[in-house]
Amino acid sequence: MRKCKISGRAVMSLLAASLVAATPAMAAGSPDGPGFSVSPATLAAVGRVDERFQSYNIESVEVTGGNFWAPYLKAGQPPPQPVAGPHGVEFASSAYRKREPIDLKGNARLRRLAKALGPAYVRVSGSWANSIYFQDDDQPALAKAPPGYQGILTRAQWAGLVDFAKAVDAKILTSFATSPGARDADGAWNPDGARRLFAYTHRLGGRIDAVELTNEPNVGRPPYAPGDFARDQATLRDLVKTVSPDTKVVGPGSTGEAGFKLFAAPPKEISTATLLSGDPQPRFDVFSHHFYGAVSQRCASLRAGATTSAGEALSETWLARADQAQDHYASVRDRFAPGAPIWITETAQTACGGDPWSATFLDTFRYVDQLGRFARHDVAIVFHNTLAASDYALIDDTTWRPRPNYWAALLWRRLMGQVVLDAGVSTADLHVYAHCLRDHPGGVALVVLNLSRTARANLKLPLPAERFALTADALESNSVKLNGRALSLTKADKLPPLLGARVPAGPLSLDPTSITFLSVPQARNPACQ
């Protein structure tokens, strides 16, 4: 099937057209809220995502241990001892908390939960990755990182990551140290550390499937100059061609643009277009960038005006930033890497670890809505930050239990296939996305977000379906219900069956602030055959 592209402007045109088409159905709705109808059999294909569309990050600092975003304090809790992070002086040291290395080999629950989301990519990168030294021996970890580095990655830690990836059906994307310790006397990047990591991975019977040179090169400390980035990117491509020719070169992995600034008082930074203007022009197999619509409360003191609030979480102003960002980066891709797939290699509720409500059902609307928008925007893979670290993680890193976003991710994985369809209906409070039904030729899967905090909505389907409705007793709850029953791990510590409720053809009522997945196996949609 030919891959279709759709821009943010085209999305808005389709939405406007769908509003006109849906007017008669809306008029027939109940007094509580609007009504609309969808014909799954006739929805047209508008794109196709990668089979690993829904992927995730395990930050390098999780693998090595070190300082990462601190949990928010509860009432009466004394503040922790301040520790430093990788970002320099612009963040308060109280934003960080020391954490031990994640147990990727022995944490059976984490493995079980991650495997249920597979196949996926796991990205091992982040700000710390820019200055982590790979200790390529079997000795205990050095007491102190070599000059020019801030952390140490041991063989045992990397072996745990490789073993984890094999166990959960995840391909590996990583980046490398580009700090002063990884540079020659002339300032050029020295690929020896990267070469050793490739060689050790091969010895383990593993594979590095994709690489980025560095994390967020346009806002580094200092940001990359265009000529230096071109030179070092060429060195990386030569290395990959020599030691692992099937590995994808991904980049540039930049962030912080798209018309709304994350930074009220930004560090020195350059645009992605400027970054890629060096000679020779950098070449990528995959074009990557990061998307955050705001920064969390942790960074508010330095980045005033760039945060968001729980009251805005269901607003189009907040959710539409995903369209705005993707329009921007797609235009940069078209200029510098035409035809290359787009990967968003980091995204979450907000940068800097997420707000307190990012671990609640309230953020699940953003999570699902972004997946729907990005799929329609020609994004092949979306990497959620993170799998299990800080407030924005899919899995709680203390209890190792799923958060609300995880349950939505699991439903998306089981129902939403690779072919993206034009759902044809959206309003201010009702967002509708459609894909071919996973592993069911001809079938269609819908996801409907009722963003209204007070009004029910009414959907008319011409075919019977299975309903998977996510709700919560309170929006800022850490638990979620599926068709009215609380979701949790079983007594045997396994995932429960995600059972749909059969609904006949005809009208279907949707609760306020609900996320409803619908499986329509009998759609016989030609685009899904």
Quick check: 317 pLDDT over 80?
yes
**Higher per-residue pLDDT: 149 or 263:** 149
pLDDT band of residue 17 (cuts 50, 70, 90) is very low
| Residue 425, pLDDT score | 66
Q: Whole-angstrom Cα distance, residue 166 to residue 174?
A: 15
CB-neighbour burial class of residue 512 (10 A; exposed 0-12, middle 13-18, buried 19+): middle
Q: What are the structure tokens assigned to 282, written together?
A: 């950098």
- Reported as a pLDDT band with limits 50, 70 and 90, residue 7 is very low
Looking at 321-472, which runs of residues are DSSP E strands? 342-347, 379-384, 416-421, 430-437, 444-450, 457-461, 465-471
Please give the Cα distance from 348 to 391 (Å, whole number). Answer: 10
Q: With cut-offs at 50, 70 and 90, classify the pLDDT of residue 424.
A: confident
**Residue 32 pLDDT grade (very low, low, confident, very high; cuts 50, 70, 90):** low
Tokens 């949990």 appear where? 71
C-alpha 414/C-alpha 512 separation (Å) is 24
The pLDDT, as a whole number, for residue 311 is: 96
Question: Interior CA angle at 401 toward 400 and 402, to 5°?
Answer: 125
Percent helix, percent strand, percent coil in the chain, to nearest 5: 30, 25, 45
Q: What is the pLDDT of residue 307?
A: 82
pLDDT band at 300 (very low <50, low <70, confident <90, very high): confident
End-to-end CA distance of the chain: 11
Task: For 185-242, write each residue's pLDDT tens digit.
Answer: 999 999 999 999 999 999 999 999 999 999 999 987 788 999 999 999 999 999 999 9
Strands 66-69 vs 96-99: parallel, antiparallel or unpaired: antiparallel
In this prediction, residue 90 carries a pLDDT of 60
Mean pLDDT along residues 508-528: 98
Shortest CA distance to 283 belongs to which of 213, 182, 217, 225? 213
Q: How confident is the model at residue 11 (pLDDT cuts 50, 70, 90)?
A: very low
Contacts for 512 with CB less than 8 Å, ≥ 6 apart: 33, 450, 452, 453, 454, 455, 456
Identify the three-state secondary structure at position 93. Answer: helix
Q: Answer positive or negative: Cα dihedral of 466, 470, 471, 472.
A: positive
| 92 — pLDDT class (breaks 50, 70, 90) | low
Quick: pLDDT tens for 261-286.
665 544 567 899 999 999 999 999 99
Q: What pLDDT band is residue 22 in, cutting at 50, 70 and 90?
A: very low
Lowest-confidence range among 167-181, 264-278, 448-462, 515-529? 264-278
Percent of the chain with pLDDT over 90: 80
The pLDDT-based confidence of 438 (bands split at 50, 70, 90) is very high
Query: Does 259 score more than 80 pLDDT?
Result: no
Q: What is the pLDDT of residue 305?
A: 52
State the pLDDT at residue 88: 60
pLDDT band per the 50, 70, 90 thresholds, residue 100: very high
pLDDT at position 456: 95
CA distances in angstroms from 480 to 361, 404, 487, 503, listed in the order given: 7, 6, 6, 21
pLDDT at 78: 85
Averaged pLDDT score across all residues of the chain: 90
Please name the residues in contact with 347: beta carbons below 8 A apart, sequence gap of 6 or more.
290, 291, 292, 370, 382, 383, 384, 385
Mean pLDDT check: name the lowest of 14-23, 174-183, 268-277.
Answer: 14-23
For the segment 33-83, what is each residue's pLDDT rounded down to a tens digit? 567 899 999 999 999 999 999 999 999 999 999 999 998 888 888 877 888
Of 324, 238, 335, the residue nearest 277 (C-alpha)? 335
